[in-house]
């Protein structure tokens, strides 16, 4: 049991000494090479070490849910990070996009819903934010649930100049929840799983 019962880590940002930072790649994203040291639990400092950091920034994900008809809409698109995935690199996901300078999280959510689903949505519910992979990237994902009429929704979306080829698909809620609970890996990305598990816990508060 923790000595003080608190979930807060013993150390904060001040316990890290960044000795140097170099930009090794500068494209749509960046890769930084850091030389650093940090304080140790047993006292003193670690030796100097090198770490690569994938600088990706803030992202927004939006789960599309129709509480009246109990439907879920997910995007299906090619993902290079899933190239060696057993089921292939086309993934079912929540609508998502990166936050650009000067944008609010809600503004990004509405922009991406228009670009990837052709929908104007007002009813947004914040789910949570989290770090997808803090061992190597500073990206933070912010999740929302959008309640919307999904009757007649679907089709092909995305911006050609960003090489987006997106198929918006609509499924019965129970089918999607069963897929998350199964071991077949049809839905196997964190943003979608977290959003859908949140919906399981909160769907009665969203109205029908």
Catalytically active residues, by annotation:
162
Q: What angle do CA 49, 136, 80 make, to 5 degrees?
A: 140
Rounded to a whole number of angstroms, the distance between the first and last alpha carbons of the chain is 43
Conformation bin of residue 102: beta by default, left when phi > 0, alpha when psi is -120 to 50: left
Separation CA 114–CA 80 (nearest Å): 23
Separation CA 155–CA 168 (nearest Å): 5
Beta bridge partners of 25: 31
DSSP state of 73: E
DSSP state of 160: G
Task: Find the helix or strand (DSSP H, E) in which 60 lies.
Answer: strand 58-66
DSSP state of 45: B
């Amino acid at each position: 049991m923790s000595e003080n019962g608190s979930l807060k880590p013993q150390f904060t940002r001040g316990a890290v000494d960044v000795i140097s930072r170099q930009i090794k790649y500068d494209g749509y994203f960046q890769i930084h090479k850091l030389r650093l040291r940090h304080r140790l639990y047993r006292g003193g400092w670690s030796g100097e070490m090198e770490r690569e950091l994938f600088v990706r920034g803030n992202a927004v994900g939006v789960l599309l849910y129709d509480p009246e008809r109990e439907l879920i809409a997910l995007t299906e698109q090619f993902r290079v990070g899933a190239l060696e995935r057993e089921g292939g690199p086309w993934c079912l996901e929540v609508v998502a996009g990166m936050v650009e300078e000067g944008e609010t999280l809600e503004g990004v959510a509405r922009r991406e819903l228009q670009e990837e689903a052709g929908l104007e949505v007002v009813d947004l519910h914040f789910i949570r934010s989290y770090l997808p992979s803090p061992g190597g990237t500073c990206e933070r994902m912010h999740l929302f649930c959008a309640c919307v009429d999904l009757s007649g929704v679907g089709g092909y979306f995305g911006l050609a100049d960003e090489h987006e080829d997106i198929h918006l698909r609509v499924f019965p809620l129970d089918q999607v929840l069963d897929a998350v609970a199964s071991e077949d890996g049809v839905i196997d990305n964190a943003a979608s799983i977290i959003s859908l598990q949140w919906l399981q816990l909160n769907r009665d508060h969203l109205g029908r």
